[in-house]
Amino acid sequence: MTTAPATENPPARPRHLLAMTATIAPAPNAQVRRASPQVRLEDYKRALRFWLAYPHAAAERILFLENSGADLGELRAIAGRENPLGRAVEFLSLPVQAIPPGLNYGYAEMQMLDEGLALSKLRGETTHLIKTTGRLIFPALGRALDLVEKRLRRSQAELELMIDCRKLGFPRRGADAQVQLFVCSHNFYDRVLRGANREMGQNGARLLEQLIFRKVIPFKGQPGCFLRFPANVDPVGYFGCKDRRYDSPRTAISRRMRAFLRVVAPGYWW
């Protein structure tokens, strides 16, 4: 009788902290066109309701971070009264951060994330961070996480990073990373990303997307690191810098092309 070889235990399922970054009243030099505090508050309320009802473990714990000193009373009320799945929700108001000349809102957003994670009580109950731009929703997030976990079970690796990098088309050059949404272990964040905003403006990396790309590209191909989403995880909502919807007809062709290339040419970044 042949005895089957013993198998190693599969990687433990991550426990996620979904962090929504929010600036209800942007600074004048934040370089955003969707700047009305009333309009932005409605965006955040809509997104919070979405995550409270999101049928995936990715949103079991929600951390709402705000850095403009705005009143969070309406958002707290939503978390208390419109929480059908009983999500744990934590709200933190953080100090207003001045944006250095020549940089954009990404500087203050990463500073808010650094400070908020250090103060969060829910962080200690979790293993991984899901960073989301709080005005937006990402309906396909759960599918992407499930696909990554399936690959990790085959390789016996632990999830360290899931972020979407891309090559830039004309007239821009080079590559960047989408920072509206990324997932990483808390350990990876502390080792690699914490304090990254202090390097903005160095060596031509004026935008946070460019800087984060430089921080994560050395991990390409390493176990547990995914520098492309396994499926399109398109945002739903409005651009901050353009005040235009992400799902407008102008972006439809690009979204479809990226979805097609992820299947037929997953190694091609576009």
Segments making up each domain of the chain, as ranges:
16-264
pLDDT at residue 267, as a whole number: 64
Instruction: Give the CA dihedral 39, 41, 46, 48, nearest 10 degrees.
Output: 160
Residue with tokens 């934590």: 90
Three-state SS at 4: coil
101-104 contact pairs (CB < 8 A, 24+)? 101/29, 102/201, 102/206, 103/200, 103/201, 103/206, 104/30, 104/31, 104/206, 104/207, 104/208
**Rounded-to-integer distance, Cα 81 and Cα 135, Å:** 20
Taking the model in full, what pTM does it have?
0.88
Q: In sequence order, what are the beta bridge partners of 236? A: 137
Q: Which of 46, 43, 99, 114 is nearest to 68 (CA)?
A: 99
Give the length of the chain. Answer: 270
Q: Which fold has domain 16-264?
A: Spore Coat Polysaccharide Biosynthesis Protein SpsA; Chain A (3.90.550)
- Per-residue model confidence as pLDDT tens for the chain (270 residues): 444 344 456 667 789 999 999 999 988 766 788 889 999 999 999 999 999 999 999 999 999 999 999 999 999 999 999 999 999 999 999 998 888 888 878 899 999 999 999 999 999 999 999 999 999 999 999 999 999 999 999 998 999 999 999 876 545 567 889 999 999 999 999 999 999 999 998 877 788 999 999 999 999 999 999 999 999 999 999 877 666 777 766 666 676 767 666 666 666 664
pLDDT at residue 148, as a whole number: 96
Burial environment of residue 81 by CB neighbours within 10 A (0 to 12, 13 to 18, 19 or more): exposed
> CA 215 → CA 161, 191, 199, 220, distances in Å?
12, 11, 10, 11
